[in-house]
Structure 1
Amino acid sequence: MRHYLKFLAVLLFASCGNDQKNTATVAEVDTGTIAKHIERLASDEFLGRKPFTEGETKTVNYLKDEFKKLGLLPGNGDSYFQDVPMVEITGSPSEKMVISGSSKTIELDYLKDFVATTNKAVPEVSLKNSELVFAGYGIVAPEYGWNDYEGIDWKGKTAVVLINDPGFKSGDSTLFKGNEMTYYGRWTYKYEEAARQGAAGLIIVHDTEPASYGWNVIESGWTGARLTIASDQPLLDVESWMSGESAKKMFDASNMMGQDFKALARNKDFKPVPLDLNVSVSIKNEIKKDVSKNVIALIPGTERKDEVIIYSAHWDHFGIGKAINGDSIYNGAVDNASGTAGLLAIAEAFKKSNPTKRSIAFIAVTGEEQGLLGSAYYAENPIFDPQKTVANINIDALESPGKMKDLTITGYGQSEMDEYAKEAALEQGRYIVPDPDAEKGYFYRSDHFNFAKIGIPALYASGSYEGFDKSIEEIKAIKDDYLTNRYHQPSDEYDPKKTELSGVQFDLQLFFNVGLKLANEDYFPKWYDGSEFKAARE
C-alpha cells in the first residue's frame, strides 16, 4: 500500500514539476467503451467468432482496426497479427478397444467405455498389442522427488495413469499441494509427459471426483473435429480415457488383481508396474489445415521498452452450431466478448494516461475454446522475450452482477501477483478470496496458464463471491443461472437493457491499476517457492 501511494505521489510530483498542464491521475476504464465492444462482438454479425470462419475474419479485423484507432502500434513487427497454424483432425476410432492377456480378453465399447483421439496429423494411427504398464499418476516432478516412469523403456508401450495428483484426498497437506491440484494433475500434462517419455499411448482412468466432471463430459468433449496447433513437441499415437468401471475390469484381469492401485500410486516409492496385458485400438482421421490469428497491439514504454506487461483475452467462441430454442449462433457475450472488450477498454485507459516506463502489450488469442491453442502457440513462439515479460493479466468471462466486494484469485498462492492484486483490491475497498475450487485445477484452464508455463507470473481473477449490493446467496444464484442456462449456449447474448456493467468495469479498473503499477516500476514479480512454474522463470 505505502509503495503504491508513494508511486502515485512521485507520479503527481513529476507531472506538476515538468508540465503544469499535465495531471497524472489514474484514468477510468470507460463503461461505455466496454458496452459498445461487447454489444458489437457478441452480435449475430460476428457469427459466434469461431476460428476458420467468416466470423474470425470479421473479429480479427475489427480488433485490429479498433487498436489502430486508439493509436496502438502493431505488436508483431509491422503486423497486428500472429499467424497460428492449426490442424483440424476429425477422428473415427475403432468401435472396440481390445485388452488381451494370457487368460482373458476384454472388449470395451467406444464412448460407453473409452474414448480415443490423436494429435498426429496422419491418416491413421493405432496401438497394436501395445504392452500396458500402470504408471501411477503419470508424473515426473523433480521438486517432489517423484518419477512415475522411472526404470522402464517406454518405446511402443501404453501407460495407464490416474487423474489428478497424489495429494488429492490424501489427508496430507504436504503431499504435492494437498487437495489443491498442481499442473501435474491435469490431463494435458499427463499426455505431454507420456509423449516425452517415448510411450506410444496413454490411457487416463476416469474418476468423477478427482476429475471434477462426469463421464458425460468425456463423451461429449472427446468426439468430433478437434483443433490442434502445429508443434515440435513429441506426440502420442493415441490419447485415451477409460471409464472407472472398465479400469476395474482391466486391473482385475491383470497381475495387480486385488491390489489397491490408488493407494499404490500415492506412495512416493512407486515404480511402474507392467500389467501383463496388451491393448489394441485404431483411429482413422480426416485432416484439414488452416491458419488462424492472434491479434497483438503495443504501447511502447518510454524507458524500458523491452520489458513488457501482457494483457490477454481470447476472442473466439463456438460459431454456429446446434440450434437451441431456434437460435444457432453461439454469441459468447460473457465468454469472451467481455474479456476482449476489456482489452480495448484498458488500452483506451492507458492511452488517456501518462506514458509508462515499460511497454504494454494486448494479445487477443485464438482457439481458447479448443484447448488454449492461440496462447499455446504464442508460448512456443513468443514475440516478446519471456524473461523480460514482467507479468500476464488474463481476462476471461467477466459476469456483471454489479460491483463485488471480493476479488477471487484463481491459482492463489502461485506468485507475487497475488500481492499486486491485494493492494489494488484494497484501494477499491475489496477483500481477497483464494481460489475456492483449487482442487478442480481452474488455474490450468484459461490462457494465462500458457504464459505461466514459460515462467511469466500470471493473474487470473474476478469478483465472484459477494456483492456490495447483492448477498452471497444472490451472487451464487446468478452464477448458477449463467452456468446452467447460458454458458456455452446460444443464449449467452448481450442485452443492453438488462445488462449493467458496473461489476465488469470494477474488475477491469483493478486490472488496469495493477498493470499501471507494474509498468512504472523496475521490479519483476516472482513465483513463490513450491510453484511448479518457478523453475521456468529461473
Structure 2
Amino acid sequence: MKTFTILSICFLISIKLIAQQFNIVDFSRNISAENIKNDVYELASAKMQGRETAKNGQKLAAVYIYKQFKKAGLIGYKMQTDSLSYFQNFSIYSKTVPGLNLSVNGKKLSEYEDFALSGYKSFKADDLDLIYLGTAPDSSYTNKDLSNKAVLFLTSNLYAGPVKALDIINKTNCNIVFYCNPLNPHQIQTVMQRQKNMFSRRQILHPKRFPLNIPLDSLAQPEQYNRYNRMLSTYQGPISAKAVAKILKVKVKDLKKCINGSPFKIKNDEKLKIDVVLQNEYNLQSTENVIACIPGTEKKDEYIVLSAHYDHIGMNGQKIYYGANDNASGTAALLEVARKLKKAVDAGLQLKRSFVFAAFTGEEKGLLGSKYFVESNTFPHSNIKTNLNIDMLGRKDNRHENLNFVYLLGANDLNPKLKSITDSINNQYPKLELDYSYDTADNFLYSASDQASFVKRNIPAIFYFNGLHNDYHKTTDTPDKIDYEAIKKVSSLIFLTAIELANQE
C-alpha cells in the first residue's frame, strides 16, 4: 500500500506539472464526443458494407482513416507524409476446399461423400497401413508407435472425433486419423459441409511462414518446435459408416453393436493399405493496416503504440453487419485521441517517446493485421514500450448499471506499474470505475483482441473494453445504440495514460 501511495503521488505530480504548462487535463476534457460520433456513423455506414477484411468496404474505411490522420497533421509510419507511407500493405491467404483422393486396397472412395480430410500442408502417400482401433479405448493405442500409419476408430459423435484424433496423434505419432459414427449416418454430411464452409472463411498470413498463425521463430524450445512441426504433418477427418463397413467387410449393424459394447473381430486377414492425396490451394488477397505517427524528441526511437481494429465481418447476402460497437467505436476513439494529442504537441507539449496510431485490419480473421505488424518488425520489439488497445466502447454489458466504467485487461501482467499509472491518472480525471475483474493472463478475452499479438512478444499492453452484449456480431450492432459521452471518458483516460507513458524516464 505504501509503494502504491508513493507511485500515485509521483504520477499525480507529473500530470499536474504538465497540466500547469500545457493544460493537458483540459485537452483531455476537450476530446469531442461529437467527433467520435461522426467517425462511428461514417465507419458503420451502409457504404462500408461491414468492413470485411480485403473487401471493398474495408478499403473504403482504410481511406477514411488515412484522411483523418492526414487532416489531423500526423505523418505516416514511415515518417513521411506521402499517402503511401500511411498504409501497411500485406497479403492474406484463403484456403480453398482441398482436393482429395483416397483408395483402400485399391478401391477408391468418394471425397466429401464417403470421407473428408484436412491438414495444414499438402500430402501424398502410398501403401500406408490402416489400423482399426474400434472405439479406441486408451489401451488400444497408448505406448504404441504408429509412425507412418493411418488410424480408424468409431465414435458416437463426430463432433468429438477431432479431440480424440488429436490424442491418438500425440500418443502414437500416426499420420492420419479417420473417425466414424455408425449410429447417425446423416451426421457426416453436416460435418463435411461445415468443414467445406470453414475452408472458405479461414484466412492466414502465409501458408508456409504462418500455417497455424504462429510465428516459427517464437517457438524457442525444441519441444515446442517439434510439436509445432508435428501438427503440420498430421491429418484427420470423418468417414462414413457405409465406407467403413465395406473396408472392414462387415455390416453397418456390426459397427453399431461395437459402439454399444459388442466388439467384433475382423475376419479378413488381409492388411489394410491406403493411398492418399491431399492438395491444399490458397487464394491470395491484399489488405492494409493504416498507421500514423507523432514523433517524440529525446527517445523518438521508442514507441507507445495505440491501436484499434477497424475491420468487421462484412455481409451475408444483403444483410450488413455494421459493426458500430465492434469496432468502429474503438477506431473512432483512436482517431480522436490522435487529433487531441497532435493539438497538444502543436501547443507545446514535449513528448520523449513517439506515438504510433495503428488501425488494424484482419482482427476478425484471427488478429492478422496486428500479427503482421508485430511479426514483420514494423518497429523493433524492444523499442515498443507499451500497447494501448481499444475494442468495443460505448455499450454496457449486463454486469453494470451504467457506462461510467471500463474493463482493463493486461494492466497487472507484463508491467504491473500500468495499473498504478492508470489508477493514479483516473483518480484525477475522468474518475471512471476501473473494472479489473477480467484482468488475468488466462482470461480468454486477453487473447481475443489485438493486444494479444504484442503480449506474445512480451510487450506490455492494456486492453480497454466495455464488455459483450446481445448485438455482438449481429446486424443490430448499429451507431444509434452507442453512448458517445462514455467513449469520450475512456478516450480521456487513454489520452492521459499515453502521455504519462511517453514521458516516463
User: Aligning the two structures, in what range does the TM-score lie when normalised by the shorter sequence?
Assistant: 0.5 to 0.7
Structure 2 distance, partners of 1:279, 1:453, is: 41
- In structure 2, the residue matched to 1:137 is none
Candidates 10, 19, 34, aligned match of 1:6: 10
| CA offsets 1:337-370 (integer angstroms, 9 cap, x no match) | 1111121011122123323221110111121111
Cα distance change, pair 40–390 in 1 and its aligned pair in 2 (3 A): same
Structure 1 distance, partners of 2:407, 2:369, is: 27
What does 1:85-234 align with in structure 2 at a 5 Å threshold? 85-92=91-98, 94=100, 116-118=118-120, 125=123, 222-230=198-206, 233=209
- In structure 1, the residue matched to 2:89 is 83
SS in 2 for 1:116: coil
SS in 2 for 1:364: strand
Displacement of 1:424 in angstroms is 4.4
Displacement of 1:388 in angstroms is 1.3
Structure 2 distance, partners of 1:296, 1:157, is: 49
Displacement of 1:309 in angstroms is 0.6
Do the aligned residues in 1 keep the contact of 2:307 with 2:360 (CA within 8 Å)?
yes
Cα distance change, pair 513–7 in 1 and its aligned pair in 2 (3 A): same
Does structure 1 residue 311 correspond to structure 2 residue 310? Answer: no
Structure 2 distance, partners of 1:117, 1:86, is: 18
- In structure 2, the residue matched to 1:266 is none
Structure 2 distance, partners of 1:444, 1:278, is: 43
Displacement of 1:377 in angstroms is 1.3
Stretches of structure 1 that go unaligned for 5 or more consecutive residues are 102-106, 134-151, 161-186, 206-214, 254-276, 465-478, 523-538
Deviating more after overlay: 280-289 vs 215-224: 215-224
Structure 2 distance, partners of 1:397, 1:127, is: 48
Deviating more after overlay: 22-31 vs 75-84: 22-31
- In structure 2, the residue matched to 1:352 is 343
**What letter is aligned with 1:233?**
R
Do the aligned residues in 1 keep the contact of 2:72 with 2:339 (CA within 8 Å)?
yes
**What letter is aligned with 1:502?**
E
What does 1:51-90 align with in structure 2 at a 5 Å threshold? 51-78=53-80, 79-90=85-96
Cα distance change, pair 480–64 in 1 and its aligned pair in 2 (3 A): closer
**What letter is aligned with 1:45?**
K
Deviating more after overlay: 503-512 vs 6-15: 6-15
Cα distance change, pair 203–338 in 1 and its aligned pair in 2 (3 A): farther
Do the aligned residues in 2 keep the contact of 1:357 with 1:520 (CA within 8 Å)?
yes
Cα distance change, pair 436–6 in 1 and its aligned pair in 2 (3 A): closer
Cα distance change, pair 352–279 in 1 and its aligned pair in 2 (3 A): farther
Structure 2 distance, partners of 1:445, 1:241, is: 27
SS in 2 for 1:446: coil
SS in 2 for 1:352: helix
Structure 2 distance, partners of 1:307, 1:87, is: 32
Candidates 15, 36, 39, aligned match of 2:38: 36
SS in 1 for 2:23: coil
Candidates 329, 337, 341, aligned match of 1:338: 329
| CA offsets 1:387-442 (integer angstroms, 9 cap, x no match) | 01101111122242342346352695454244444444555252433328976633
- In structure 1, the residue matched to 2:134 is none
TM-score (norm 1): 0.61
SS in 1 for 2:61: helix
Candidates 473, 490, 504, aligned match of 1:507: 490
In proportion to residue count, which structure has more helix? 2
Structure 2 distance, partners of 1:112, 1:504, is: 53
- In structure 1, the residue matched to 2:502 is 519
| CA offsets 1:457-500 (integer angstroms, 9 cap, x no match) | 12123244xxxxxxxxxxxxxx44224xxx2x3322222xx432
Cα distance change, pair 378–278 in 1 and its aligned pair in 2 (3 A): farther
How many residues end up aligned between the 2 structures?
394
Displacement of 1:4 in angstroms is 4.8
Displacement of 1:153 in angstroms is 12
Cα distance change, pair 57–384 in 1 and its aligned pair in 2 (3 A): same
Does structure 1 residue 482 correspond to structure 2 residue 471? Answer: yes
What does 1:268-279 align with in structure 2 at a 5 Å threshold? none
Structure 2 distance, partners of 1:310, 1:30, is: 21
SS in 1 for 2:334: helix
Cα distance change, pair 23–461 in 1 and its aligned pair in 2 (3 A): closer
- In structure 1, the residue matched to 2:357 is 362
Do the aligned residues in 2 keep the contact of 1:312 with 1:394 (CA within 8 Å)?
yes
Does structure 1 residue 492 correspond to structure 2 residue 487? Answer: no
Does structure 1 residue 450 correspond to structure 2 residue 450? Answer: no
SS in 1 for 2:336: helix
Stretches of structure 2 that go unaligned for 5 or more consecutive residues are 132-144, 153-162, 180-190, 212-230, 249-271, 397-401
Do the aligned residues in 2 keep the contact of 1:422 with 1:432 (CA within 8 Å)?
no
Structure 2 distance, partners of 1:405, 1:439, is: 22
TM-score (norm 2): 0.64
SS in 1 for 2:391: coil
Do the aligned residues in 2 keep the contact of 1:408 with 1:462 (CA within 8 Å)?
yes
Displacement of 1:44 in angstroms is 0.9
**What letter is aligned with 2:75?**
L
Do the aligned residues in 2 keep the contact of 1:126 with 1:237 (CA within 8 Å)?
no
**What letter is aligned with 1:296?**
I
Do the aligned residues in 2 keep the contact of 1:412 with 1:435 (CA within 8 Å)?
no
Displacement of 1:84 in angstroms is 1.0
Structure 2 distance, partners of 1:352, 1:302, is: 16
Deviating more after overlay: 449-458 vs 107-116: 107-116
SS in 2 for 1:481: coil
Displacement of 1:299 in angstroms is 0.8
What does 1:15-30 align with in structure 2 at a 5 Å threshold? 22-25=22-25, 27-28=28-29, 29-30=31-32
Structure 1 distance, partners of 2:493, 2:312, is: 25
Do the aligned residues in 2 keep the contact of 1:462 with 1:507 (CA within 8 Å)?
no
Structure 1 distance, partners of 2:426, 2:125, is: 53
Do the aligned residues in 1 keep the contact of 2:304 with 2:384 (CA within 8 Å)?
yes
Displacement of 1:307 in angstroms is 1.0
**Percent of paired sites with the same residue:** 26
Do the aligned residues in 2 keep the contact of 1:115 with 1:222 (CA within 8 Å)?
no
Deviating more after overlay: 305-314 vs 229-238: 229-238
**What letter is aligned with 1:301?**
G
Q: CA RMSD in A?
A: 4.5
- In structure 2, the residue matched to 1:209 is none
Cα distance change, pair 10–445 in 1 and its aligned pair in 2 (3 A): closer
Displacement of 1:508 in angstroms is 2.6
Do the aligned residues in 2 keep the contact of 1:88 with 1:288 (CA within 8 Å)?
yes
| CA offsets 1:189-213 (integer angstroms, 9 cap, x no match) | x9xxx9xxxx9969899xxxxxxxx
What does 1:409-420 align with in structure 2 at a 5 Å threshold? 409=409, 413=413, 415-416=415-416, 417-420=418-421
Structure 2 distance, partners of 1:157, 1:359, is: 55
